């Protein structure tokens, strides 16, 4: 039996349909749940098996958000008007390239990612991730997601930079660099070991957080995974617009940052933010190279004096 409703005095009939559950929650006089919270609770009550419900939710969320976010980029690639915003304008991915990529990503989703997803609910239960309605406040959700973005970015920087060394690059990370001019769908085109290592930054950090902070909701993780997928797909889109997020948040990385990584194969290792590449002097591209050389020249001149 599901215990999705926390301290709520309502007699919900299990094994009824999703719509019936929703209507009963809607009609319950002592209940003040938002639309999303009622949908969430109705879903868990309808499935009536929390492990299966969370697994199905995560798998569907991942597929829907990843491909749903990639589709507009595919359409944009087909419209010549947008060429002026393409970072590597002469390198429009062919349908064949996108199709090959789609097949590989789907295989990876079903063979690599579909399996561990079913362990998430039992792990979440043991470490105390709550999934009951109502949800936490939006302020708390925002705070948790901000922390995850900052920590994941550091994780990604460290392990992505590590993946560029010798054998790690040759046998693992080279696959992701097949496309020197990336496109949205290519975000998760990677070796299974890379998918697991970098995916651990997305899933493992919330688990580590709740282990220490003892406060996290499964809905927050759903929002976090959605935003992280959007970030990864957009960073691979290959398009830079005047309205791209980094023009408003200068430390946000985006496609402008990650496209250079694929173009030059070195530098710009971080996922969401620009600060680690700036601080650790690993910015990619000819402009960053010139700036680095200029700094070296000034340093050497100072030494001579
Ligand atoms: Zn790389
Ligand atoms: Zn990439």
d(CA 249, CA 67): 26
Strand locations in the chain, DSSP E? none
d(CA 296, CA 20): 69
Relative to the alpha carbon of 259, which ligand is closest?
Answer: 2
CA of 261 to the centre of ligand 2 (A): 7
> Which residues on adjacent β-strands are paired with residue 217?
130
Which residue, among 273, 242, 241, 280, has the nearest Cα to 257 in the 3D structure? 273
Half-sphere exposure of 248 (CA within 13 A, CB side): 5
pLDDT of amino acid 176: 95
The structure tokens 């996290």 sit at 216
Going from N- to C-terminal start, the domains of the chain cover 55-125+158-304
DSSP 87: T
**If DSSP codes are grouped into helix, strand and coil, which group holds residue 133?**
strand
Relative to the alpha carbon of 264, which ligand is closest?
Answer: 1
Output the CA torsion 298→302→304→305 (10° steps): 140
pTM (two decimals): 0.91
CA of 38 to the centre of ligand 2 (A): 38
Q: Which long-range contacts (CB under 8 A, 24 or more apart) does 160-167 make?
A: 160/198, 160/269, 160/270, 160/271, 161/269, 161/282, 163/194, 163/197, 164/265, 164/266, 164/269
pLDDT of amino acid 123: 87
pLDDT of amino acid 13: 60
Relative to the alpha carbon of 190, which ligand is closest?
Answer: 2
Relative to the alpha carbon of 189, which ligand is closest?
Answer: 2
CA of 173 to the centre of ligand 2 (A): 10
Per-10-residue mean pLDDT of the chain, 305 residues long, equals 61 75 84 91 90 93 96 94 92 91 93 84 88 93 98 97 95 94 94 93 94 93 97 96 95 95 93 96 85 79 75
d(CA 170, CA 47): 45
Relative to the alpha carbon of 180, which ligand is closest?
Answer: 2
d(CA 134, CA 78): 43
């Amino acid at each position: 039996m599901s215990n999705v409703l926390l301290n709520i005095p309502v007699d919900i009939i299990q094994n009824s349909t999703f719509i019936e559950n929703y209507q009963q929650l809607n009609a319950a006089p002592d209940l003040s749940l938002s639309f999303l919270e009622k949908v969430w609770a109705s879903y868990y009550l309808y499935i009536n098996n929390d492990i299966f419900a969370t697994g199905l939710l995560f798998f569907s969320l991942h597929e829907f958000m990843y491909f749903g976010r990639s589709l507009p980029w595919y359409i944009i690639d087909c419209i010549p008007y947008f060429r002026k915003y393409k970072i590597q304008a002469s390198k429009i991915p062919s349908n064949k390239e996108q199709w090959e990529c789609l097949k590989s990503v789907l295989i990876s989703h079903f063979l690599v990612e579909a399996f561990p997803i079913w362990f998430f609910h039992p792990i979440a239960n043991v470490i105390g991730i709550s999934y009951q309605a109502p949800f936490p406040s939006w302020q708390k959700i925002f705070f948790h997601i901000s922390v995850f973005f900052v920590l994941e970015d550091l994780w990604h920087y460290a392990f992505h930079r590590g993946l560029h060394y010798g054998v790690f690059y040759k046998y693992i990370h080279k696959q992701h660099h097949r496309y020197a001019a990336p496109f949205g769908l290519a975000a998760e085109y990677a070796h299974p070991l890379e998918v697991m290592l970098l995916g651990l930054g997305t899933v493992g950090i919330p688990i580590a957080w709740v282990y220490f902070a003892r406060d996290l909701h499964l809905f927050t993780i759903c929002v976090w995974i959605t935003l992280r997928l959007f970030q990864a797909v957009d960073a691979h889109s290959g398009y830079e617009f005047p309205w791209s997020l980094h023009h408003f948040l200068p430390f946000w990385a985006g496609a402008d940052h990650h496209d250079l990584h694929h173009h030059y194969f070195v530098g710009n290792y971080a996922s969401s933010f620009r600060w680690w590449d700036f601080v650790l002097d690993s910015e990619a591209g000819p402009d960053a190279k010139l700036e680095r050389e200029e700094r070296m020249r000034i340093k050497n001149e100072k030494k001579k004096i």
